[in-house]
Amino acid sequence: MTLTLTRRAFTAAAILTCTAFGAHAEGFTPENPECIAPANPGGGWDFTCRQVGKSLQDQGLIPSTMQVVNLAGGGGGVAFAEVVNKRSDSNDLIVAASSATATRLAQGAYPGNSMDQVRWLAAIGADYGVIAVAADSELNSLPDLLDQIKADPKSVSVAGGSAVGGWDHLKVLIATNAYGIEDVRSVKYIAFDGGGEAVTQLLAGSVQAFTGDLSETKGFVDSGDVKILAVLSPERLPGEFADIPTAKEQGVEAIGANWRGFYAPGNMSDAAYDYWVNDIATLYASDEWKEIMTANGLAPLDLQGDAFQSFVGDSVAQIQAISREIGIIK
């Protein structure tokens, strides 16, 4: 079984025409720009807020520093509920989102909430999943890890930055299922509030493996603390990531691309919505952002406004189907 972004979603950008591209929407400028990262510092949502906020400011696309607020809990549910219930008309606020957000919405994990209660702004790239271990681990390949799980599931704890049943959890289940482990519920997954905290537990020896995304793992690889067993991409990534083997080339047909982007409060004004959509589109098109994507292993995903809204809807439907297939939901 493989999980990837649909070809239609990746190619939608080719026919997308963004009006007022690169120009600010008239009639609105944020007074106190703010980004909520729905996890603790160090993970992918935190990276999304901080890197995009800094880049928007560096390019003069926002008038002041982006305030980043870490609001962890419930696999993004605490932040989603905060926006829906308390900040539904905030025009200065954007929230980091990803496939993990779509996963929790698909599985009904945000009680009483749906994707239609917020406005979906834009994507800023796709982040391929990885399965990793501590640098000093005796495990040197993905089959090494999966063989150990198959032989004794209780001997391997896998840490991730999403809740049980969330996107990080799904990635390791997809890999184990593809390897012939039929009872994927036997996999021992431990959830943490963000990838940074999950890696910290890996380095402390509390868990034996980590499932996350390349962008949140890269710093730990560069420091020599973490060893990536496989990247869940269809083929090897270019540049400095070329040495990382794919799951597929190790005989495990598992592909997982985590889109990254933003949503906004459901009652945000049209002027504010257009402002943020255009700002993120302008950032995405810049040479500076292309360099950041390359440095962090992000794949292209150029979607804004209505096209992104439709894409998220497709993602939610796809994940619902996969979740039923592997027994996460009925």
Query: Residue 326 has what pLDDT?
Result: 77
Please indicate, yes or no, if residue 2 is contained in any of the structural domains. no
Tens digits of pLDDT across the chain (330 residues): 444 443 334 333 333 333 333 345 468 999 999 999 999 998 899 999 999 999 999 999 999 999 999 999 988 999 999 999 999 999 999 999 999 999 999 999 988 889 999 999 999 999 899 999 999 999 999 999 999 999 999 999 999 998 888 889 999 998 998 999 988 889 999 999 888 899 999 999 999 999 999 988 999 999 999 999 999 998 999 888 999 999 999 999 998 888 999 999 999 999 999 999 999 999 999 999 999 998 888 889 999 999 999 999 999 988 888 888 778 888
Residue 162 CA to residue 149 CA, distance in Å, equals: 20
Residues sharing a CB contact under 8 Å with residue 114, sequence separation 6 or more, in sequence order: 105
Tell me which amino acid residue 14 is.
Answer: A
Residue 277, classed as helix, strand or coil, is helix
Please indicate, yes or no, if residue 147 is contained in any of the structural domains. yes
What CATH number corresponds to the domain at position 206?
3.40.190.10
> Considering only CA atoms, which of 53, 48, 41, 67 is closest in space to residue 161?
41
User: Does one domain contain both 134 and 106?
Assistant: no
Please indicate, yes or no, if residue 217 is contained in any of the structural domains. yes
What CATH number corresponds to the domain at position 39?
3.40.190.150
User: Does one domain contain both 101 and 156?
Assistant: no
Helix or strand (DSSP H, E) at 320: helix 305-325
User: Does one domain contain both 141 and 241?
Assistant: yes
| Torsion of the alpha carbons at 181, 149, 152 and 162, rounded to the nearest 10 | -100
Please indicate, yes or no, if residue 277 is contained in any of the structural domains. yes
What ranges make up the beta strands (E) of the chain? 34-37, 67-70, 93-98, 118-134, 157-160, 188-191, 209-213, 226-231, 257-265, 298-299
Is residue 208 within 8 A of residue 137, CB to CB? The reply is yes
Please indicate, yes or no, if residue 1 is contained in any of the structural domains. no
Query: Residue 14 has what pLDDT?
Result: 32
Take residue 38 and report the two structure tokens written for it.
């729905």
* Domain endpoint, select from 194, 227, 250: 250
Query: Residue 22 has what pLDDT?
Result: 37
User: Does one domain contain both 175 and 280?
Assistant: no
Residues sharing a CB contact under 8 Å with residue 13, sequence separation 6 or more, in sequence order: 300, 301, 302, 303, 307
User: Does one domain contain both 122 and 264?
Assistant: yes
Residue 169 CA to residue 120 CA, distance in Å, equals: 24
* Domain endpoint, select from 250, 284, 305: 250
Query: Residue 42 has what pLDDT?
Result: 87
Residue 219 CA to residue 199 CA, distance in Å, equals: 11
User: Does one domain contain both 11 and 118?
Assistant: yes
Strands 118-134 and 67-70: unpaired
User: Does one domain contain both 72 and 14?
Assistant: yes
Per-residue pLDDT of 251-305, as tens digits, reads: 999 988 889 999 999 999 999 999 999 999 999 999 999 999 988 888 899 999 9
Query: Residue 322 has what pLDDT?
Result: 80
Residue 330 CA to residue 325 CA, distance in Å, equals: 9
Please indicate, yes or no, if residue 26 is contained in any of the structural domains. yes
> Considering only CA atoms, which of 235, 283, 233 is closest in space to residue 258?
233
Query: Residue 18 has what pLDDT?
Result: 35
User: Does one domain contain both 175 and 216?
Assistant: yes
User: Does one domain contain both 273 and 300?
Assistant: yes
Please indicate, yes or no, if residue 330 is contained in any of the structural domains. no
Query: Residue 138 has what pLDDT?
Result: 96
Residue 327 CA to residue 161 CA, distance in Å, equals: 21
Range of the domain at 53: 7-126+258-325
Which phi-psi region, left, alpha or beta, contains residue 80 (left: φ > 0; alpha: ψ -120 to 50)? alpha
Number of domains in the chain: 2
* Domain endpoint, select from 188, 222, 250: 250
User: Does one domain contain both 234 and 292?
Assistant: no
DSSP letter at 252 equals: -
Residues sharing a CB contact under 8 Å with residue 189, sequence separation 6 or more, in sequence order: 157, 158, 159, 160, 164, 169, 172, 173, 211
Residue 304, classed as helix, strand or coil, is strand
**Can you give the pTM of this predicted structure?**
0.78
User: Does one domain contain both 109 and 136?
Assistant: no
User: Does one domain contain both 36 and 179?
Assistant: no
Residue 258 CA to residue 83 CA, distance in Å, equals: 22
